[in-house]
Amino acid sequence: MQFVQLLSLVMVGMFAFAAQKQTPAVNPPAMDDRYSVSTVSSALQYLQQQNHADFSSFADKNYLWPLLPLGDRVSIAVLRIYTTDELVRPENAGAYLTVARNAFSMRSSVIEKSDADPRVTLFLLAYLKEKEISNLGIEKRIEYLEGCVKDFTCSSQGEYDFFHKS
């Protein structure tokens, strides 16, 4: 029982710290941010500036931890941030895939029950796959995510292992 309380306290602290320092959103958030557009937009912008897909520094995690409770909401936010033409650009698609991977890494963190069902995310992954971005790395990442979002087992290590198994 103490472990659960400690874990809860640590999670609250992480989210409070993460909320303190966020870069401006790519698109200004609406007053009603029920889709977490500002959080997702900040993470996307950060990921595009960093230009890498594996994150380990505390600064990286500062932008990725707030994604844990979002689940499928992350894809709804992406649809509000990017047009379909913008989403298929490799730099935007790559950032989205990293955001989705982090949002589907721990089912128990998802706040809204409806966000635990990856319908919108699976739709967006299918859309990106259909558009054939012509980037083998992105295509492989889409294939990995199509499997792991269903059971919230996505991780950077899992993605690495997926890339190197075949």
pTM of the predicted structure, to 2 decimals: 0.76
Higher-confidence position of 11 and 36: 36
Using CA atoms, how far residue 103 sits from 90, 133, 136, in Å, is 20, 22, 23
For residues 129 and 132, give the distance between their C-alpha atoms in angstroms, rounded to a whole number.
Answer: 6
Confidence of residue 135 (pLDDT cuts 50, 70, 90): confident
By mean pLDDT, which of 6-15, 24-33, 75-84, 90-99 is the weakest? 6-15
For residues 111 and 15, give the distance between their C-alpha atoms in angstroms, rounded to a whole number.
Answer: 13
Q: What is the pLDDT of residue 11?
A: 47
Q: What is the pLDDT of residue 24?
A: 47
Give me 133's structure tokens.
Answer: 């971005």
Kindly tell me if the per-residue pLDDT of 22 is higher than 60. Answer: no
Confidence of residue 32 (pLDDT cuts 50, 70, 90): low
Sequence-distant (≥ 6) Cβ neighbours of residue 78 within 8 angstroms: 40, 44, 87, 96, 99, 124
For residues 148 and 97, give the distance between their C-alpha atoms in angstroms, rounded to a whole number.
Answer: 12
Q: In terms of Cα–Cα distance, which of 91, 89, 166 is closest to 133? A: 89
Kindly tell me if the per-residue pLDDT of 93 is higher than 70. Answer: yes
**Inter-axis angle of helices 37-50 and 73-81, to 10 degrees?**
70
Q: What stretches of 21-150 show up as alpha helix (H) in DSSP?
A: 37-50, 58-64, 73-81, 84-87, 90-103, 119-130, 136-148
Cα dihedral sign, 111-98-82-11: positive
